[in-house]
Structure 1
Amino acid sequence: MKTITTTKVIGMLLLVVLSSNLAKAQSETYLNQNLKVESKTSTFNLGETENSIWDFSKSVPVAKYSPKASENTLEENHERYDFDRYYPRKGTQSFVNIYIGLNNYLQDGDLPSSDELFTLNPLTSWYAALNFDHATRILGPLYLDWGIGASIQDLSFENTRVEVVVDRANQSVDFVERMDRVGKKSKINMMHLNVHMVPTFSFGKYNSFRIGAGVYAGYRISSHTKYKYDDLTGDSQKDKFKDSLYINPFKYGLRAQMGWSSFDIFFNYDISELFEEEANAPKLNPVTFGVIF
């Protein structure tokens, strides 16, 4: 029994020693071998020799900065995502613009005096338009800004008692102050289809300052007057009269604009008069100033 027991003990000790040596050998082999880690761009090694220190300067891929490459990438992004919303480096760029502004008109080159019944309140005389615009590069910094759209104009009178009266017999447009009413609002409303062509200089590639001057024209598609007031009994009333009002069916004028990045301002001056030449009406030239979004 003692011999069998002794033999078992010796055998177990030999197995332990053998296992320990085998584990140690495997560990040393694992630590000394080269571990290769591959990426899409490079392969780097860890632990080449037993006494060496890992050298990451030769194994880790480093991204190098290239100003030229960065500029090219920027230009590609602008072309792809249209960051430069208005003026491209080449060809034509199209976009939708919203115009918001204020209206007034000139009489013999000056604003009408406050004594005139047709004097406007510029803060309530709104202009709004939706345009499909384009910018085409011509040569160097010279571009052509052109487009088509629809606009709505309110000519709101300063004197809210004023009523616009059309006399067909005399071909006249009269402005009558109604003293028997308490006026709330009196205005002329017009809607036009418009086109414009504005040669523009753009200084720089992206988000650049630009300035231009050109021409525009429009065709009237509707017009009416609206008069809100309280009558003698205090009841609120509203009169709306749809008519041509002897307003010129065509208009044309000069346009100036200036902008930076995606913000622009514009100024329109109608060379054509508001009312038709044969009509007995004041000689007025509308002007509009506003912003483009």
Structure 2
Amino acid sequence: MKTTLRMAALVVLITALVSPALQAQTDLSDRLTVTSNVWKKGLSPSTNLTDFEPTNTLKVESPGQVNTHSIANSLRRSPFDVDKYYPRRGTENFFNVYLGLNNWLEDGDLPNSDKLYSLLPINSWYVGLNFDNISHLLGPLYLDWGIGASFLDYAFENTRVSVDKVDDAVVFSERNDITGRKSKINVGYLNVHFVPTISFGRYRDFRVGFGVYGGYRISSNTKMKYDDASGDKQKDKMSDSFHINPFKYGFRGQIGWDFMDLFFNYDLTEFFDEDKTAPRLTPVTFGIIF
């Protein structure tokens, strides 16, 4: 008898624990069924989702109701939702972060390692903060345009290199009295870009573009970190124009999918003023847009 009562109590306890979970699962299944199909009624701001019945067709019952085509399309999309896609019309706005690596070319080639201005690309960073816009023009054609700021590091392969401005010349010299740890030029720009882009795919989430950009220099300095003859750590920083060209412009190529794009910048202007005595260097940048 005691055994029977214990079994009955155990069954009652299990039923009490399981029933709420089963009911919650049933409610969740019903909600998913409603929201994963196209509804047969139009939406109004006061509509309760529980009033809808699932169906395979879309019916907008009156012109005064909100068009549900865009809602239906979003419900049909895969679990891998597209975070950044080009609009069917109008303009979309994004805040993007640019991360990349810098280098420069001399007569179309990378400078040899024995040149004092040869760079170490892995330490030559590009960081950009941009307010970008995507405007639909015609069919698959869009215009990617925006404004922002970028900060570029040009880190020298030889960490004992010092950069100085002497009259109308830029002088690179090697300091033999120190143990170099880092030597670089930092430059900041305000930028604009205009990149015609062709977008593909069901959600216009794959794109390829080629256009132009321009920038105005807002800051520049050199920085050296080294150990002196006594072994003490030192840091020298000097702010100056260093005859760096105040303006820059060039070509930009982009290719992207969903929330990420790859970009490539090729300057048509030289890094230093053309009328100064300095190496003839053309900057290039490759990176990612988030």
| Distance change in 2, residues 1:76/1:164 (3 Å) | same
Q: Relative to structure 1, is the Cα distance of residues 205 and 283 closer, same or farther in structure 2, using a 3 angstrom cutoff?
A: same
CA 1:236 to 1:62, structure 2 compared with 1: closer, same or farther past 3 Å? closer
Tell me the amino acid that sits aligned with residue 222 of structure 2: T
Superposition pairs for residues 20-59 of structure 1, below 5 Å?
none
Q: CA deviation at 1:208?
A: 2.2
Question: Is 2:265 the counterpart of 1:268?
Answer: yes
What secondary structure, in the 3-state scheme, does the structure 1 residue paired with 2:123 have?
coil
Shift of 1:77: 6.9
Contact between 1:142 and 1:199, CA under 8 Å: does it hold in 2? Answer: yes
**8 Å CA contact 2:82, 2:258 repeated in 1:** no
Matched, 1:144 2:143: yes
Q: Does 1:226 align with 2:223?
A: yes
The 1-side partners of 2:75 and 2:94 are apart by: 18
Q: Counterpart in 1 of 2:84?
A: 85
Give the length in aligned residue pairs. 228
Q: Distance in 2 between matches of 1:77 and 1:92?
A: 22
Q: Which residue of 2 aligns with 1:251?
A: 248
The aligned amino acid for 2:71 is T
- 1:62–1:177 distance in 2 versus 1, CA, 3 Å: closer
CA deviation after TM superposition for structure 1 residue 215, in Å:
0.2
Q: In structure 1, what is the equivalent of residue 174 of structure 2?
A: 177
1:73 counterpart residue number: 71
State the TM-score, normalizing by the size of structure 2: 0.75
Deviations 1:241-276 (A, max 9, x none): 100010000000000000001110000000000000
Look up the equivalent residue of 1:189 and give its one-letter code.
Answer: N
Deviation string, structure 1 residues 65-110 (Cα, Å, up to 9, x no partner): 23899964344679xxx95524111000111000000000000011
**Structure 2: how far apart are the matches of 1:246 and 1:68?**
67
Aligned match of 2:288 in 278, 286, 291? 291
Paired residue secondary structure (2:226): strand
Compared CA separation, residues 259 and 67, structure 1 to 2 (3 A): farther
**C-alpha distance in 2 between matches for 1:260 and 1:67:** 30
Return the offset for 1:224.
Answer: 0.3
Secondary structure in structure 2 of the residue aligned to 1:73 = helix
Aligned to 1:118: 117
Q: In structure 2, what is the Cα distance between the partners aligned to 1:68 and 1:185?
A: 67
Distance 2:207 2:103 in 1: 26
Residue aligning to 1:13: none
Structure 1 residue 164 and structure 2 residue 167: aligned? no
The CA distance in 2 between the partners of 1:275 and 1:62, in whole Å, is 68
Compute the displacement of 1:283 (Å): 0.3
Secondary structure of the equivalent of 1:272? coil
Choose the corresponding residue for 1:211, options 205, 208, 216: 208
| Gap change, CA 1:131 and 1:272, over 3 Å in 2 | same
Change (3 A) 1:62 1:214: closer
What are structure 2's unaligned runs of at least 5 residues?
1-51, 61-67
1:128 maps to 127
Query: Which residue of structure 2 lines up, in the alignment, with residue 98 of structure 1?
Result: 97
User: What are the Cα deviations for residues 175-201 of structure 1, in whole angstroms up to 9, with x where unaligned?
Assistant: 101111100000000000000000000
Give the percent of matched residue pairs that are identical in Structure 1 and Structure 2.
58
**3-state SS in 2 of match to 1:123:** helix
